[in-house]
Structure 1
Amino acid sequence: MVKIFIILDGVGDRACKLLDGLTPLEAAKTPNLDYFASRGNGGYVYTVNEQLAPESDEAIMALLGYDPTKYYYGRGPLEAYGAGMEFKNGNLALRTNFATVDNRLILDRRVGRTLTTKEAKELEKTINEKVKLDYDFEFRATVGHRGVLVIKGGDFSDNISNVDPAYKRVGRFGVAVNNNINNIEECRALDPERKTKVSANVVNSFVKQCHEILKNHPVNNQRNKKYLLKANAILVRDAGIILPELPKKTGWGAVVSMPLEVGIAKLSGMKVLKFDYPETTNKGLLDNLYKGLNETLAYSKIMIKKGNLSKYFIHFKELDVMGHDNNPIEKKKMIELIDKEFFGYLRKLDDVEFIVTGDHACPCELRGHASDAVPLLHYKKGVKRDTMRRFNESEAEDGYYKQLYGKDVLRKLGFENSITEQEH
């Protein structure tokens, strides 16, 4: 038997005006998921807890069975590790976004999602050549507007605030906020220690220098002529100085493409079945997203068909983007495509067990993450305990599984034994 754990990034939603009051899952035509829902068992899950609007890092870590209150030390090191960057404990790593600003006013946190891979790499090269800090550093553009910064050679602290106002620090966690603050924040030390102040200061220096270097960069001058937003700022968030040691899984393969998920999968001991996510081009956001989604669908089926492993973790990123961009119609279409191409394929398999859920809700009209529970479906042939007939938010309320937490999903649903706790 093959076991598959599927995460639909940001799949959870709320009623959408453009869908006549339905969520994208409720509005989507999903005959294959309906087939499995009518023969499986559903419910809902809080990936971290009821209060937190989680980022993907702590949510995915939890869903893979690792209690984030014990194993999570910040997103930066996870992204750096997944991107293949050199990182040693004690280095300061942060997730970054290319963004568009006017003075300190953020016009777009993601450059309108129009920054091409070629452009991002040109900007990366200039930043690494021209920014001068008191410490060695490496900046790397990864996918689209995303990037990672690693600062080396100092005595650093990760107890610093985010420059990106869309996420705030709550203890160790990065938490999505919807507070309508649209100005670049100063990075602040969150305790009085000297190393914390040093860490905040070096981050502020990096951000300030990047803006000065990027605002009249040839890439941005060309973008301006094309009436495209300039990538003239770097937003940083979710600092970390420790790469966690996770108890290792065996027999798992991970079909993942984003640096974050690659990093977590590698740390967990999974065999990373990474494929090259298509480069972002100037053909438009939806063209880029559907290329990426189709690549993930095709590669997932190839890996399952090979049958070299007994368990697979498969991550679909693109739905989350549609939530952030308030595009419920395309989110619905993507759900339908995944249903047809992936769950339609699973229907042809004789011996398959799977769990499908989301890492968090990303309601379209909210344009960001929410603390809402997300629906979950567990299919195992011959086991039916509830009346659920469709995989969506409303039917999940009547599912068999009540108020699951992310860290308990794999264990309680019989995918694996409990994680052996290690000393930190």
Structure 2
Amino acid sequence: MKYVVILGDGMADEPVKQLGNKTPLQVANKINIDSLAKYSEIGLVKTIPDGLTPGSDTANLSVLGYDPQKYYTGRSPLEALSIGANMEEGDVSFRCNLVTLSEEGSYEDKTIIDHSSDEITTEEADELVKYLEKYLGNDKIMFYSGTSYRHAIIWHGGSTDVNLTPPHDILERNIKDYLPKGTNSDKIEQMMKLSYELLKEHPINIKRKEKGLRPANSIWIWGEGTKPSLNSFYDKYHKKGAMISAVDLLKGIAIAADMKNIEVEGVTGNINTNFEGKAKAAVEVLKSGEDFVYVHMEAPDECGHRGEIDNKVKSIELIDQKVVRYIKEELDNIKEDYKILILPDHPTPLAIRTHTNKPVPYLIYDSSNLIESDAEYNEESCKTTGNVFIKGHELMDYFLK
């Protein structure tokens, strides 16, 4: 038996007025997913336990079968693993976004315009992060380059006793009420303020503005955490597993779980990514002897954060056409039984442009046990079945049983 998880990050939503009070999943032309739904078990799964912040970190841990209440030590440490950051006991890792702030007034008066600086390229971002390391780094604080706008800071002797806000939660808001609070908050805020002075006239940002792109004119620090420790995925499930993702967070989870990370050329973490390459890589992984592959697509989540209604619908259609169709057809040709699990990690509603902790729709297709129905795959259809996993991490046990 082969096992595939196809995860559309942030794919679930609430009814959208501009879509006739339907969700993107309801209006998207996803004929391949809906064809699977007619022979699948569908239902809802609550991936984020009550009391935890709804994020891709806690949610993807849950989907992979790791109870976030037991294993979660913070978002940034998982990302730091994937970019080669060296964490020791007592170190604290922080996510360091390159963001776009408005340019008026003092730092406190500014508004956060874009949490991704128009999805800055990794090459541009790497130069900016190295520039910041030169002026802000020291023997206790080190900057590490990641992918696009996502980077890390390791603080030797840092503290997690802080209150830091994810930048995608406060888009188009004044940042005054969301500046750091708690232990070392004055030092964190000072780094953010100094970064603005260093970056606002950097040649890369001048060129970006000339091209009509948003500048990466400040860092935003959040996602604090300590060194993670997960049980091996193989020891937990006796399945050889692999991860396919453009996102450092998912790669870090894979490293912590001792899974293979499969690199695919041209993947970006947004809608302009190599969907076909991910699908082909997933099939090749299974043909080469792995039992399980986790195919993560960030595009719906990014579209949700950016409030891009049409692009969120389009991203779901691209996953359906370029990933689901190919994987299903190729697995049928392998002549071996297989299961496919399709789901989001969490909702990213277009109306609020950030995550919620509501249950998400799941679909399990088992080639050896077809369940005939007239179902479609969306939030409402899955809700009507009565199939609900209240503890999200139990879904993986069920899927792999």
TM-score normalised by length of structure 1: 0.83
2:145 aligned residue (118, 141, 144): 141
| Contact 1:137–1:151 under 8 Å retained in 2 | yes
Pair 1:255-2:259 in alignment: no
What residue in structure 2 maps to residue 422 of structure 1?
none
Equivalent residues in 2 for 1:7-406 (5 A)?
Answer: 7-49=7-49, 54-101=54-101, 102=103, 103-104=107-108, 105-133=110-138, 135-152=139-156, 155-162=157-164, 164=166, 166=168, 180=173, 182-183=175-176, 185-189=178-182, 197=183, 199-249=184-234, 250-278=239-267, 289-304=271-286, 306-348=287-329, 349=332, 350=335, 351-383=337-369, 387=373, 389-399=375-385, 401-406=387-392
Query: Bigger shift: 347-356 or 67-76?
Result: 347-356
Tell me which moved more, 361-370 or 138-147. Answer: 138-147
**Range 41-50 or range 337-346, more displaced:** 337-346
Q: Which amino acid aligns with 2:223?
A: D
Map Cα deviations across residues 31-69 of structure 1 (whole Å, 9 max, x no partner).
221221111110011101357561000111111111111
> Are the structure 2 counterparts of residues 404 and 185 from structure 1 closer, same or farther at C-alpha, using a change threshold of 3 Å?
closer
What CA distance in whole angstroms lies between the structure 1 residues aligned with 2:370 and 2:265?
38
- Kindly state the Cα deviation for residue 6 of structure 1 after the two structures are TM-superposed: 2.0
| Shift of residue 162, structure 1, vs aligned partner | 0.8
Letter in 2 for 1:19: L
SS at match of 1:289: coil
| Aligned residues of 1:42 and 1:388 also touching (Cα < 8 A) | no
Q: Distance in 2 between matches of 1:251 and 1:299?
A: 15
Please state whether the residue corresponding to 1:126 is helix, strand or coil.
helix
Q: SS at the partner of 1:239? A: strand
Q: Is the 8 A contact 1:254 1:272 kept in 2?
A: yes
Measure, in 1, the Cα distance between the counterparts of 2:312 and 2:197. Answer: 37
Contact in 2 for aligned 1:58/1:68 (Cα 8 Å): yes
Over aligned residues, Cα RMSD in angstroms? 2.5
Partner of 1:284: none
Paired with 1:111 and 1:6, the residues of 2 have a C-alpha distance of 24
Query: Aligned-pair distance for 1:387?
Result: 4.3
TM-score by length of 2: 0.88
One-letter amino acid of the structure 2 residue matched with residue 96 of structure 1? C
Q: Which amino acid aligns with 2:153?
A: L
Pair 1:180–1:405, CA change in 2 (3 A)? farther
Moved more, 5-14 or 341-350: 341-350
Q: Mark the CA change 1:151 to 1:377 in structure 2 (over 3 Å): closer, same or farther.
A: same
* Whole-Å separation in 2 of the counterparts to 1:6 and 1:200: 39
The residue type equivalent to 2:220 in the other structure is L
Q: What is the CA–CA distance in structure 1 between the aligned matches of 2:375 and 2:208, rounded to whole Å?
A: 49
1: distance between equivalents of 2:87 and 2:129?
18
Unmatched 5+ residue regions in structure 2?
none
Structure 1's unaligned 5+ residue stretches are 168-176, 190-196, 281-287, 417-424
1:371-398: CA deviation from partner (whole Å, max 9, x where unpaired): 2211000111353568461111111012
- The CA deviation at 1:331 is 1.8
Deviations 1:352-410 (A, max 9, x none): 21111111001112211122211000111353568461111111012352244311101
Give the distance between the partners of 1:279 and 1:38, measured in 2 at CA: 32
Count matched residues: 387
Q: Is the 8 A contact 2:16 2:23 kept in 1?
A: yes
User: Alpha-carbon deviation of 1:163?
Assistant: 5.3
On the 8 A contact 2:32/2:321 being kept in 1, the answer is yes
Q: Percent identity?
A: 26
Q: 1:164 to 1:339 in 2, by over 3 A?
A: closer
**How far, CA to CA, are the matches of 1:382 and 1:241 in structure 2?**
42
Post-superposition offset of 1:116: 2.4
CA displacement at 1:114 relative to structure 2: 4.4
Matched residues in 1 for 2:266 and 2:82: separation?
14
Distance in 1 of aligned mates of 2:25 and 2:254: 27
Q: Aligned partners of 2:19, 2:167: CA distance in 1, in Å?
A: 30
What is the SS of the residue equivalent to 2:6? strand
Residues 32 and 163 of structure 1, relative CA distance in 2, 3 Å threshold: closer
Per-residue CA distance 1:278-313 (angstroms, 9 max, x = gap) = 469xxxxxxx63234343234323333x34211111
The verdict on how the C-alpha distance between 1:219 and 1:382 changes in structure 2, with shifts beyond 3 A counting, is closer
Q: How far apart are residue 237 of structure 1 and its match?
A: 0.6
